[in-house]
Chain A
Amino acid sequence: MRQVVRNVAAAAFVMVSAARAAAQSANSFIPSPSGLWTLAIGANFDGQPAFEGSKSDKLTGVPIFSLGPAGGSTERFRGPLDSASIALFDYEGFSAGLAGKTKSARTAANYTELNGLDDVKMAIELGGFVQYFPTDWFRLRTELRRGFGGHTGVVADFSADVLVPVWSRLTVSGGPRFTLASTQATAPYFSVDAVQSAASGLPVFDAKGGAHSAGAGTQVRYQITPKWEAHAYVEYDRLLGDAAASPLVEQKGSPNQLSLGLGASYSFDFHLP
């Protein structure tokens, strides 16, 4: 229990610190607490697969809370599926640092498709990111994370985004995505062992790692006023390899995974003496 609390605390710290710090310049990294700060609060409403490989969806509400040094933050680009991250190196559009995200627990009792399968605990994935902006309107990003808790494998995400400022208030972005996952990151969610097979009626399946998913996503961001911002996104992924070949997906789920999100935030500055 303490381990979980510690993990959640660590993840929360990373997430809270990260939204503004993601693309933050080294120039203002680890700032003095005194000075002008920007606090953004808001909410995101996401519709996403109930669990990985599911054909049914769930709606979740997630609060937005980010704190960072004032200045320039409203323009920073952040992909909807980016992990929370903190840049440790930032130079001429190239940045690298720490990244982390959580993967929800999968509780078999909550979904009939999972009858007979084991629960999977929440996973915390910690690692690093590298991203490069050759221009203001194009970003390449990759993340490499190792799981703790629900899975102990390694996941690598690759994405490219074209950012098009349609006019000063409206920016549309989007591009392809690709994910690799190791066997240890895939098996807890897609393997079916003999006991589970007997209980669920699904055939035994030993899921291996490799190409995990490929897809594309787009995001629209609208700066309503200097303080109010609204955004929406759509992300489509198709499961690949053993994730797609799993009997859970083939017989009871779908390899097509769609996520939608809508959110708004309000940011304001305050001064710390």
Chain B
Amino acid sequence: MMTRRRARSWPRSGAADRRTKPFVRGLIGLLLTLVASGCATLKRTDVRLASAKTVGIVSAIGDDFTFTRAGLTAPTEAERHSPVGAWGLDDLITIRMGLLLGGRYQVEGLTYSRAPFATKEAVSPFAVSSAVSKLTSASENRLSDLVRTQVAPQGLDVYVVLTRAASPYGSRSRIVTGVGVIERVAVLGSSGQLHALYTITVIDGHTFKVIGKEQAAALEGDELFRLKGPSREIGAELLSAAQTPAGSDTLKAAVIDLIDRGLPKTLQELQLIDQPKP
């Protein structure tokens, strides 16, 4: 009876209701689709990773250290780049990721040219074009192509690729990428923020489809301005060392510590390693 009464009352409701309900239904449908697509992605990742046995690791956060100034700076001031290839950062990351992944997978050594993976991707200034690029997974396709053509051996179940990520900073939201330091210049002194921003992409070694992608999240630290990725405030000593980073073991240790602290959580998000037991 209740159902019948409701069915009868429906045509008598006002025009606004008749217009609103399809809208609400559409909205709910959209939300359900979003949730379902998220769940579907997770399940796909889970299934493929569950059957995976061999894993290869590519690390290309780059051999470049950026020193950027924000705040009271000259309009012409540009970021400075310093080579830090001597740090062997990518080799260290490969070893650390190998240790983390070794508990579940057989980690195989890879041969590849790092430069193509470390290339900075061009980003369109037009939001629509950028969004379309994301929807068409242009960036993911580029990495998949590189894994297919530049990495040996082929045929592993999964390839895990670590590349530089980006984050906005400063009052006008400029973009900083990878490893470096931001110096914020104020009237009463400066402050420094060390960052190591990276994304991990998981690629199916047989179909070369991207089955997972996660940008390392900000750490639960005390930095005043949060970047979209691991960062921490640094004192005057490290800020000074960042001017000539290649020779500073302290700075190198601080960068490795940042990456180390972010890696387990990012790999957990990608379901590559298990959640730690409480």
Contacts and interface: CB of A to CB of B under 8 A. Distances in A.
Nearest to A269: B218
Given A71-B227, A74-B226, A26 B125 contact: yes
B227 A72 contact: yes
How many of chain B's residues touch chain A, expressed as a range? Answer: 35 or more
Specify the main secondary structure of chain B where it touches its partner: mixed
Contacts, number: 157
Contacts of B209: none
Contact of B168 (A24, A91, A163, A171): A24
B168 A36 contact: no
B97 interface: no
A26 B129 CA distance: 9
Contacts of A26: 123-127, 129-130
Contact of A93 (B42, B174, B224): B174
Contact of B131 (A30, A93, A166, A171): A30
Contacts of A70: 217-218, 226, 228
Given A27-B166, A36-B218, A136-B71, A72 B173 contact: yes
B140 to A, nearest CB: 12
Interface string B6-29: 000000000110010000000000
A71 B167 contact: yes
Interface in A117-171: 133-137, 139, 163-169, 171
A25 B188 contact: no
Interface stretch (A42-50, A53-61, A82-90, A206-214): A82-90
A60 to B, nearest CB: 27
Contacts of A27: 123, 130, 166, 168, 175
Interface of B: 15-16, 19, 34, 38-39, 41-42, 70-75, 123-131, 134, 166-175, 184-189, 191, 214-215, 217-218, 222-229, 269
17 contacts: A1-B16, A2-B19, A23-B171, A30-B127, A35-B215, A70-B217, A70-B226, A70-B228, A71-B228, A75-B171, A76-B172, A93-B172, A93-B174, A165-B184, A165-B187, A169-B224, A273-B39
Given A72-B167, A93-B174, A136-B171, 14 more contacts: A25-B168, A26-B126, A27-B130, A27-B168, A29-B127, A73-B226, A133-B171, A135-B73, A136-B72, A136-B174, A137-B71, A137-B171, A165-B187, A168-B189
